[in-house]
């Protein structure tokens, strides 16, 4: 029963059932799966106190995803989530060019009952790491946990820290890069700093100079695609080994970018926890060789 008058139907459904986004609620309404007082309604209908809202969830479509027995390095696990130390070279989810052998395929092997939320190819995924980046990331095990974690990322309350090696001696030794990011108008496969892009903000702290390079800790406050790589390149200190935005390296076959720390509140208890990941051997060896 509706207790608050004047709220839109789609908003009421999204608030009452946090596992459903407003877009999902609107689709269910448009498909006739949500009724008000036993009548089909529109998403913008203003509800009255005492209205009866009934929801019928259609069966999920069959998923094209298949489990693959890919080893997972699990740092932490509870009933709501997995914290994983992702290796370099593993894409997060299927896409053109890599339809299989992704983190999602590995997770489905470990958690065969993981729901395919939103009917997408990204069940449980709440954030991303580039295919060639390594390090710590979190995966939701149910829709409520996924909604909770996504909201934490949207609120920018999640602590994200990366280690990056950049070309040149970065100065000053700490700073903030604020520059909007959007599709590169000259190459739609790349991102770039563009005036009409979305707000993007990145903090950095120099750890040490290594040869003619700089090891930095980077903390992106926003979550734009390729944000760290684009921002560092834009200020003239590209990521070593990054063939798209940076410079190729004789010491590395991939970009030197590692998610070293991730902090958030556990959905079940609200307790804040931080999880860390050490540099992988190939990155440690690159530091020795470059020095």
Per-residue pLDDT reduced to its tens digit, 164-182: 999 999 999 999 999 999 9
Residue whose entry in the numeric block shows the structure tokens 């120099």: 206
Among candidate residues 10, 80, 116, 130, the one labeled active-site is: 130
SS3 32: coil
Token reading at 234: 């834009």
- Write the burial class of residue 9 (CB in 10 Å: 0-12 exposed, 13-18 middle, 19+ buried): buried
Residues 216/170, Cβ–Cβ less than 8 Å: yes
CB-based burial, 45-69: b 16+ in 10 Å, e otherwise:
bebeeebebeeeeeeeeeeebeeee
pLDDT of residue 273: 98
**pLDDT tens-digit readout, 64-95:** 678 899 999 999 999 999 999 999 999 998 77
Token reading at 20: 């459903």
Residues 187/139, Cβ–Cβ less than 8 Å: no
pLDDT of residue 63: 58
DSSP character at residue 19: T
Distance CA 158, CA 220 (A): 10
pLDDT of residue 203: 98
**pLDDT tens-digit readout, 27-72:** 899 999 999 999 999 999 999 998 999 988 877 555 567 889 999 9
Phi, psi of 77 (to 5 degrees): -150, 140
**pLDDT tens-digit readout, 111-129:** 987 755 555 667 889 999 9
Token reading at 238: 């590209």
Distance CA 112, CA 123 (A): 11
Which residue segments constitute the domains of the chain, with CATH numbers given?
9-55 (3.10.290.10), 74-290 (3.30.2350.10)
pLDDT above 90: percentage of residues in the chain: 70
Distance CA 198, CA 187 (A): 17
pLDDT of residue 188: 79
pLDDT of residue 228: 97
pLDDT of residue 122: 78
SS3 14: helix
pLDDT of residue 109: 92
Distance CA 57, CA 139 (A): 24
Residues 217/260, Cβ–Cβ less than 8 Å: yes
78 counts as catalytic? no
Number of H helices, E strands in the chain: 6, 14
SS3 281: helix
pLDDT of residue 167: 97
Distance CA 235, CA 225 (A): 17
DSSP character at residue 53: E
Distance CA 101, CA 144 (A): 27
Distance CA 110, CA 74 (A): 11
Closest CA to 182 of 195, 172, 197: 197
């Amino acid at each position: 029963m509706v207790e608050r008058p004047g709220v839109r139907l789609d908003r009421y459904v999204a608030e009452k059932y946090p596992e459903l986004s407003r877009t999902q609620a609107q689709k269910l309404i448009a498909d006739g799966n949500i009724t008000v007082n036993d009548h089909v309604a529109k998403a913008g209908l203003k509800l009255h106190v005492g209205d009866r809202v009934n929801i019928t969830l259609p069966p999920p479509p069959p998923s094209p995803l298949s489990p693959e027995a890919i080893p997972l390095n699990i740092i932490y696990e509870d009933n709501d989530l997995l914290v994983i130390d992702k290796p370099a070279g593993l894409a997060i989810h299927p896409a053109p060019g890599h339809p299989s052998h992704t983190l999602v395929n590995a997770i489905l092997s470990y958690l065969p009952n993981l729901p395919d939320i939103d009917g997408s190819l990204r069940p449980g995924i709440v954030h991303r790491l580039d295919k060639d980046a390594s390090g710590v990331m979190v995966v939701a095990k149910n829709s409520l946990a996924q909604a909770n974690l996504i909201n934490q990322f949207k609120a920018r309350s999640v602590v994200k820290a990366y280690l990056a090696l950049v070309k040149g001696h970065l100065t000053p030794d700490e700073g903030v890069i604020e520059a909007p990011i959007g599709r590169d108008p000259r190459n739609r496969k790349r991102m770039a700093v563009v005036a009409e892009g979305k707000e993007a903000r990145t903090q950095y702290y120099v750890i040490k100079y290594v040869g003619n390079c700089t090891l930095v800790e980077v903390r992106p406050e926003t979550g734009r695609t390729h944000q760290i790589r684009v921002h560092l390149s834009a200020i003239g200190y590209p990521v070593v080994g990054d063939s798209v935005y940076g410079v190729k390296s004789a010491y590395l076959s991939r970009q030197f970018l590692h998610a070293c720390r991730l902090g958030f509140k556990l959905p079940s208890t609200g307790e804040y926890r931080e999880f860390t990941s050490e540099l992988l051997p190939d990155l440690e060896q690159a530091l020795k060789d470059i020095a």
